[in-house]
Amino acid sequence: MEFTTPPPATRSGGGEERAAAEHNQHRCRLKGHGMEEEMAVKVFDLEMPGAERSFLAECEALRSIQHRNLLPIRTACSAVDNRGGMFKALLYEFMPNGSLDTWLHPRAAPAAGEKAPKRLGFSQRVNIIVNVADVLDYLHHECGRPTVHCDLKPSNILLDDDLNALLGDFGIASN
């Protein structure tokens, strides 16, 4: 298998690239065994206080719960890099519509050559609210061990091809 980094996304506003850079998240293509899949990779900066605890909390929170509105983790990686340092990362399914934050707060003016930012219609907003409420109800009441997300915000709500909301980033979740 090999990772390749695709060219930057062209969605207007560039919000997902800004968000990815701020949160040490990257886009890549995973190739191997006759498949090619675009993935989102969240790399943990283990020099930051609490980063390893955040990695473990996210793995623990998501290892035994499944719901259609939870961002699916494809795999977790914990290894020693070529310099002897620890490396921890999570690979997620890539969400082409980015985060809810980039849809609610688009950049004021598109750069030259970019399209105007898309806007969410009323029914799309209601659908997103219902998706988030459904997954929170599941986490709090139905998943066996109640789980509290602790960091619910638009940048942690990702949108798939059909603008269905998926909740991610369980780094400070508690049960």
- Cβ neighbours of residue 175 closer than 8 Å, sequence gap 6 or more: 61, 145, 146, 147, 148
- For the segment 115-174, what is each residue's pLDDT rounded down to a tens digit? 766 789 999 999 999 999 999 999 888 887 787 777 889 988 999 999 999 998 765 556
pLDDT tens readout for residues 13-39 = 344 433 333 345 555 555 556 667 778
Provide CATH code, domain 2-167. Answer: 1.10.510.10
Q: Looking at residue 45, what is its pLDDT?
A: 82
**Better-scored residue on pLDDT, 11 or 34:** 34
- What's the pLDDT score for residue 173? 52
Catalytic residues: 151
Q: How is the chain split into domains, by residue range?
A: 2-167
Residue 172: what pLDDT? 55
> How far is the C-alpha of 106 from the C-alpha of 99, rounded, in Å?
11
Give pTM, 2 decimals: 0.70
Q: Please give the helix or strand (H or E) that residue 30 lies within, else none.
A: strand 25-32
Q: What is the DSSP string of 75-98?
A: EEEEEE-TTS-EEEEEEEE--TT-
State residue 118 phi and psi, 5-degree precision.
Answer: -75, 150
pLDDT tens-digit readout, 56-104 = 877 777 777 888 999 888 888 888 878 888 888 888 888 889 899 989 9
**Contacts (Cβ under 8 Å, ≥6 apart) of 7:** none
* pLDDT in the model for residue 103: 92
Tokens of 161: 């091809």
